[in-house]
């Protein structure tokens, strides 16, 4: 039985025979369905309770290179012919990562303390943090040491993987696209040239991450633990706050530069991670079809604002239609670096936090709330100094009270704890409420919000030589004369699956053939009234020209280069992008990875000049 047939019949899918796909066609909605009383497990079987802020934050170690002999001992020599421009970008550092299953302690309280099975890299999840420098090409050999299908303790994911360095500028064969997967006992070599797009220093990136991207199983495999950080450095962002160079930014570095990946997770009563599977029902039809301005006897009088929409959504969520992983997957335990509500001791000085929403479906609106050492009430006393969006430094820092972060988006922020006294507590708080089915926000704010983690302020152990520059990285110039063509992509929900321009993903179909060295303008449109889609396109960043017909404001973080678009209900976003340096196949998809798996994704190719569509 194929994956989507399994979803249609509501089976708790275990992975057997899952590598195949249905043909691209309309998917029938007849057959067995769950009863109307079906609810997601976060409602029917909440995770066991924990005592928050009793387990320290896990700070991932920095990945360590290996020798060529050590790499070749695990699979043989590198094949230079497998990589574009390999001789031009000969690797200066080599790494090996073994992808395997192991127990992972999310919390020390019972029943979590005995360990919950996870998947990860070299025995940890998230995997090691890579520190990579422009001008030092890298090769990473990743070995699939996961148990074969049917023998893993994590029985809801697929032990067939492909690892994407989001949003690396590299050739297609090293991109980790969904169809380039490898199975247990196999490995894949990923070649990262560490070269800015087009050789333009303004295209240098900072905070990237890597994660599984297996066709149809990205959501489950990332949820199982297959993610980690990949950080870029250069002469400006030099990873040294004491750098004497006039060119260096001297941003906080070393132990004061801390990556934070957010995952919300659901556990069973034995403390094991679970993933809900369910089945869509047509009891009420698509909630996107609801018009709040029309009279509806079931839901009350005519409405003129979002209140009626929320009321409809609550009915949809709570009583009428079942939830299912076609919409999304929401957990009820917040983890940071795969620890449930950790604490982290911070000195009275500046820190750089690289905050990543690892998904699979939850969106966040983050605030900092403080509590003084005398037990005073929780108030807002600190703001984020935002220095990046996605993988790219902003032109200049922005001071923000809150940080909205959709799946796969990243923000680097500076927090100055010198404003606090030793013994103070500062909480990272989320106020964005989500629908139980994971499709998007439910229209309400949480008050006072969910506490994600706690920072415990201690005295400084030495001088703070870090600084926050007035200017960061200038934007590349946009030259509209380079534009070869414009394209429009419409994201919608049809026959129980998510579509782009009315079609399901087909990895053998080229949806756009883009000529190397050209520029294009893309318009992304969300046809839904309730769904939200964080849309990610691989390979190169882009610059947003318009959101609903208006250019970004000067103080808007989206004014920088981006690789994820926040595409809310009914929204339209237009951006300018270039495609340079390499050839081959890439993808664009929704990064609510449950939507991606069902099957909101297109393939686009970079082709030689004169061969474009």
What six digits make up the tokens of 79?
């094949």
Is the previous residue joined to 394 through a cis bond, with omega within 30 degrees of 0? no
Q: How many whole angstroms separate alpha carbon 330 and alpha carbon 360?
A: 8
Among residues 193, 203, 200, the alpha carbon closest in space to that of 173 is found at: 193
Among residues 402, 360, 91, 413, the alpha carbon closest in space to that of 221 is found at: 360
Among residues 173, 175, 187, 192, the alpha carbon closest in space to that of 133 is found at: 192
Give the domain-ending residue among 207, 236, 252.
252
B/e letters for 258-287, b = 16+ CB within 10 Å, e = fewer, are: bbbbbbbbbbeeebbbbbbbbbbbeebebb
Give the domain-ending residue among 252, 268, 301.
252
Q: What is the mean pLDDT of residues 5-24?
A: 29
Give the domain-ending residue among 252, 281, 313.
252
Residue 23 has pLDDT above 90, yes or no: no
Q: Please check whether residue 434 is in contact with residue 330, taking contact to mean a CB–CB distance below 8 angstroms.
A: yes
What six digits make up the tokens of 16?
């057997």
256: left (phi over 0), alpha (psi -120 to 50) or beta: alpha
Q: How many whole angstroms separate alpha carbon 186 and alpha carbon 173?
A: 16
Q: What is the CA radius of gyration of the chain?
A: 23
Q: What is the mean pLDDT of residues 449-460?
A: 97
SS3 annotation, 167-199: CCCCCHHHCCCCCCCECCCCEEEEEECCCCHHH
Residue 95 lies in domain: 68-252
Residue 505 has pLDDT above 80, yes or no: yes
Lowest mean pLDDT among 88-92, 116-120, 274-278, 533-537: 274-278
- How does pLDDT run across 212-238, given as a tens digit for each residue? 999 999 999 999 999 999 999 999 999
Q: Please check whether residue 131 is in contact with residue 239, taking contact to mean a CB–CB distance below 8 angstroms.
A: yes
Residue 35 has pLDDT above 50, yes or no: no
Q: How many whole angstroms separate alpha carbon 50 and alpha carbon 114?
A: 14
What's the half-sphere exposure (Cβ side, CA atoms, 13 Å) at 321?
24
DSSP tag of 235: S
Residue 249 has pLDDT above 50, yes or no: yes
Q: Please check whether residue 94 is in contact with residue 192, taking contact to mean a CB–CB distance below 8 angstroms.
A: no
pTM over 0.85: yes
What six digits make up the tokens of 42?
């976060």
**Mean pLDDT value across the chain:** 87
Structural domain includes residue 394: no
Among residues 313, 370, 330, 283, the alpha carbon closest in space to that of 33 is found at: 283
DSSP tag of 320: I
Q: What is the mean pLDDT of residues 110-125?
A: 97
CATH number at residue 149: 2.60.40.420
Q: What is the mean pLDDT of residues 238-249?
A: 97
Counting the structural domains of the chain, the total is: 2
Structural domain includes residue 2: no
Secondary structure class of 316 (helix, strand, coil): helix
Lowest mean pLDDT among 83-97, 174-188, 555-569: 555-569
CA distances, 479 to each of 208, 488, 523, 548, 551 (Å): 26, 20, 17, 22, 16
Structural domain includes residue 520: yes
Query: In this predicted structure, what is the pLDDT of residue 495?
Result: 79
Residue 493 has pLDDT above 80, yes or no: yes
Burial tier of 480 (Cβ tally within 10 Å: 0-12, 13-18, 19+): exposed
Q: Please check whether residue 207 is in contact with residue 560, taking contact to mean a CB–CB distance below 8 angstroms.
A: no
What six digits make up the tokens of 210?
């890597």
Residue 516 has pLDDT above 50, yes or no: yes
Structural domain includes residue 195: yes
- How does pLDDT run across 435-450, given as a tens digit for each residue? 888 888 988 999 899 9
Structural domain includes residue 24: no
Query: In this predicted structure, what is the pLDDT of residue 277?
Result: 66
User: For tokens 């990743």, what's the residue?
Assistant: 142
Q: Taking the CB of residue 208, how many other CB atoms lie within 10 A of it?
A: 23
CA distances, 126 to each of 70, 195, 273 (Å): 23, 25, 15
Residue 302 has pLDDT above 70, yes or no: no
Concatenating the DSSP letter of every residue in 536-573 gives: EESSS-EEEEEETTBPPPTT-GGGSEESEEEE-TT-EE
Q: What is the mean pLDDT of residues 234-258?
A: 98
Residue 298 has pLDDT above 50, yes or no: no
Residue 27 has pLDDT above 70, yes or no: no
Structural domain includes residue 352: no
Q: How many whole angstroms separate alpha carbon 401 and alpha carbon 366?
A: 9
Q: Which residues pair with 106 in a beta bridge?
A: none
Q: Please check whether residue 115 is in contact with residue 225, taking contact to mean a CB–CB distance below 8 angstroms.
A: no
Q: How confident is the model at residue 326 (pLDDT cuts 50, 70, 90)?
A: confident
Query: In this predicted structure, what is the pLDDT of residue 318?
Result: 39
Q: What is the mean pLDDT of residues 480-508?
A: 94
Residue 307 has pLDDT above 90, yes or no: no
Among residues 569, 571, 573, the alpha carbon closest in space to that of 292 is found at: 569
Q: How confident is the model at residue 371 (pLDDT cuts 50, 70, 90)?
A: confident
CA distances, 365 to each of 89, 407, 468 (Å): 40, 12, 24
- How does pLDDT run across 527-585, given as a tens digit for each residue? 988 889 999 999 999 999 999 999 998 888 888 999 999 999 999 999 999 999 999 99
Q: What is the mean pLDDT of residues 293-300?
A: 31
Q: How confident is the model at residue 373 (pLDDT cuts 50, 70, 90)?
A: low
Residue 380 has pLDDT above 60, yes or no: no
Q: Which residues contact 285 (CB under 8 A, 6 or more apart)?
A: none
Q: Please check whether residue 313 is in contact with residue 299, taking contact to mean a CB–CB distance below 8 angstroms.
A: no
CA distances, 497 to each of 31, 39, 84, 324, 441 (Å): 16, 20, 35, 12, 19
Structural domain includes residue 267: no
Q: How many whole angstroms separate alpha carbon 440 and alpha carbon 431?
A: 14
Q: Give the percent of the chain with pLDDT over 70.
A: 84
Residue 16 has pLDDT above 70, yes or no: no
Residue 293 has pLDDT above 60, yes or no: no
Structural domain includes residue 333: no
Query: In this predicted structure, what is the pLDDT of residue 33?
Result: 40
Concatenating the DSSP letter of every residue in 379-393 gives: B----EEEEEETTEE
Q: How many whole angstroms separate alpha carbon 270 and alpha carbon 103?
A: 13
Q: How confident is the model at residue 479 (pLDDT cuts 50, 70, 90)?
A: very high
Q: Which residue has the higher pLDDT, 279 or 576?
A: 576
Dihedral (CA of 147, 150, 153, 154) sign: positive
The CB-based long-range contact list for 252-256 (8 Å cut-off, 24+ gap) reads 252/349, 252/350, 252/351, 252/352, 252/414, 252/466, 253/352, 253/466, 255/59, 256/347, 256/349, 256/350, 256/351, 256/352, 256/466
Q: Taking the CB of residue 59, how many other CB atoms lie within 10 A of it?
A: 14
Q: Which residues contact 387 (CB under 8 A, 6 or more apart)?
A: 251, 352, 393, 394, 397, 412, 413, 414, 468, 472
């Amino acid at each position: 039985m194929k994956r989507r047939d399994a979803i249609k019949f509501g089976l708790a899918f275990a992975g057997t025979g899952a590598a195949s796909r249905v043909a691209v066609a309309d998917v029938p909605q007849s057959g067995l369905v769950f009863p109307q009383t079906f609810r997601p497990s976060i409602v029917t079987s909440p995770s066991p309770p924990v005592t928050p802020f009793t387990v320290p934050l896990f700070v991932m170690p920095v990945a360590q290179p290996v020798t060529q002999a050590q790499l070749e001992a695990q699979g043989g020599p590198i094949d230079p012919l497998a990589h574009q421009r390999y001789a031009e970008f000969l690797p200066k550092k080599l790494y090996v990562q073994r992808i395997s299953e192991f127990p992972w302690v999310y919390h020390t309280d019972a029943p979590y303390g005995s360990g919950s099975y996870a998947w990860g890299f070299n025995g940890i999840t998230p995997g090691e943090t890579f520190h990579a420098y422009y001008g030092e090409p890298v090769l990473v050999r990743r070995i699939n040491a996961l148990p074969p299908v049917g023998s893993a303790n994590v029985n809801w994911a697929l032990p067939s993987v492909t690892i994407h360095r989001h949003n690396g500028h590299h050739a297609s064969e090293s991109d980790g696209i969904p169809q380039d997967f490898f199975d247990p006992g196999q490995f894949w070599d990923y070649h990262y040239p560490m070269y800015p797009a087009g050789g333009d220093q303004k295209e240098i990136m900072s905070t990237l991450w890597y994660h599984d991207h297996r066709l149809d199983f990205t959501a489950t495999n990332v949820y199982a633990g297959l993610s980690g950080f990949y950080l870029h450095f250069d002469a400006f962002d030099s990873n040294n706050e004491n750098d004497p160079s006039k060119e260096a930014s001297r941003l906080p570095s070393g132990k004061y530069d801390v990556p934070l990946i957010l995952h919300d997770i659901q556990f069973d009563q034995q403390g094991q991670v679970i993933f809900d599977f369910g089945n869509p029902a047509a009891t009420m039809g698509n909630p996107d079809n609801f018009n709040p301005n029309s009279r509806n006897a079931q839901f009350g009088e005519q409405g003129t604002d979002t209140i009626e929409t929320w009321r409809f959504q609550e009915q949809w969520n709570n009583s009428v239609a079942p939830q299912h992983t076609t919409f999304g997957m929401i957990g009820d335990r917040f983890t940071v670096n795969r620890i449930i509500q950790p604490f982290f001791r911070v000195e009275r000085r500046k820190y750089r936090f690289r905050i990543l929403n690892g998904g699979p479906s939850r969106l966040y609106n983050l605030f900092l709330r403080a509590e003084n050492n005398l037990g005073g009430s929780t108030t807002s006393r600190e703001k984020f100094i935002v220095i990046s969006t996605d993988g790219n430094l902003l032109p200049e820092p922005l001071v923000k009270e809150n940080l909205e972060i959709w799946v796969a988006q990243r923000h680097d922020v500076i927090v100055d704890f010198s404003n606090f006294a030793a013994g103070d507590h500062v909480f990272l708080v989320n106020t964005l409420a989500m629908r139980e089915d994971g499709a998007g926000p439910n229209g309400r704010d949480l008050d006072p919000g969910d506490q994600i983690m706690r920072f415990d302020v201690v005295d400084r152990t030495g001088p703070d030589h870090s600084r926050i520059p007035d200017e960061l990285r200038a934007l590349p110039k946009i030259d509209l004369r380079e534009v070869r063509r414009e394209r429009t992509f419409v994201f919608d929900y049809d026959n129980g699956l998510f579509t782009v321009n009315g079609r399901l993903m087909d990895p053998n179909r080229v949806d756009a053939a883009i000529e190397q060295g050209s520029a294009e303008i893309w318009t992304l449109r969300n046809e839904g009234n309730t769904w939200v889609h964080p849309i990610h396109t691989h390979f190169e960043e882009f610059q947003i020209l318009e959101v609903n017909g208006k250019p970004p404001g000067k103080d808007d973080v989206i004014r920088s280069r981006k690789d994820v678009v926040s595409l809310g209900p009914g929204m339209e976003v237009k951006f300018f992008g270039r495609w340079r340096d390499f050839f081959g196949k890439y993808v664009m998809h929704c990064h609510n990875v449950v939507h991606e798996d069902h099957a909101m994704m297109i393939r686009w190719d970079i082709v030689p000049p004169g061969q474009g569509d």
